[in-house]
Amino acid sequence: MRKIIITASAGFMALSLAACGTTVTERAATGALGGAVVGGAVSGDVGGAAVGAAVGGVAGAATTPRR
């Protein structure tokens, strides 16, 4: 139960940072940071943080509004 609470909290924090930034680079950076936090919290190791950073960076870059 404790792991679910930690994961949900980390996910909420990551989602709150998802809209930070206006350029592709800024959104990719905030997505990677949030992903690393969530990945590290869920897996408890550096490998999980690296995977989370990669996924978060791609997701952040993909959500940048096109003008």
pLDDT at 50: 93
Chain segment 12-52, per-residue pLDDT in tens:
766 666 557 788 888 888 888 888 888 888 888 899 899 98
**pTM confidence score:** 0.70
Sequence-distant (6+) residues with CB within 8 A of 44 are none
Provide mean pLDDT across the span 8-15.
71
63 within 8 A of 48, measured Cβ to Cβ: no
pLDDT at 54: 92
- Picking from 58, 21, 19, the residue whose alpha carbon sits closest to that of residue 36 is 58
